[in-house]
Amino acid sequence: MDDPENEDRWARVEAAHSQVVSSALAFEGTCTGEHGIGLGKRQFMAREHGESLETMKKIKELLDPRGVLNPGKMFP
């Protein structure tokens, strides 16, 4: 990948990533794939899923009331 210590270069990498994901969403695609959402794509979940995101969060809370299953990885 790239050097996360190089702030300017890392900002350009993040901007390019955002453009790629935005393009995918514009074509009614998804921000994620076979590797799941992860930390890098949580920020796009609301744009992709809209109001459904709240339903997803409620389901997660029902299935994981203590928040121990992969905490902080799926929802912003």
pLDDT tens per residue, range 46-64: 999 999 999 999 999 999 9
Helix (H) or strand (E) holding 47: helix 45-49
Give me the residue spans of the domains in the chain.
7-63
- 13-40 mean pLDDT: 88
Confidence category of residue 65, pLDDT binned at 50, 70, 90: very high
CB 2 within 8 A of CB 13: yes
Whether the full predicted model's pTM is greater than 0.85, yes or no, is no
Residue pair 41/32 in contact (Cβ under 8 Å)? The answer is: yes
Return phi, psi of residue 58, to 5°: -65, -40
pLDDT recorded at residue 1: 55
